[in-house]
Amino acid sequence: MKLNHILITAAILALALVLAAAGCGSSVSHLETGGINANDLLDNLTDKTTRILSDVVNVEAAKAALPQLEAVNDGYDQLIDEAEDLSPNARIELSEQARKAMPGLKENARRMNRMNGVDEIIGAEMNRMVTKLSKLL
């Protein structure tokens, strides 16, 4: 009886190792490169952009937001660099996530463009952000 239990446990462990080696059982690990998870980084960048822009209600707030948006764009540069090292399947997944994020980013950019004086301050940074996200499509 004890031998059967050991054999079953060994078979399960062997199957787990085979699946792990084949990339099954983890939908995230193949999106990691250099210790960075590309999908998590993209989520972080889009969330951060939304948080920053939610505080932009006038020219003064736009001026305060500019360095933060520049830092987000630096994050997009890092993501674009990291994406080059992803597997083809992971690149497809990242592209799909970027496609889903694009409408929200464009809407945020349009909203900023409609505010008096704000576009002159952060419009170029928002346009760069849209351009960088499109590189991931």
The confidence score (pLDDT) of residue 134 equals 97
Of 72, 46, 66, the residue nearest 117 (C-alpha): 66
Q: How far apart are CA 45 and CA 42, in angstroms?
A: 5
Domain locations in the chain?
Answer: 30-134
The confidence score (pLDDT) of residue 27 equals 44
pLDDT per residue rounded down to tens, the chain (137 residues): 565 546 555 446 444 444 444 444 444 446 766 567 899 999 999 999 999 999 999 999 999 999 999 999 999 999 999 999 999 999 999 999 999 999 999 999 999 999 999 999 999 999 999 999 999 99
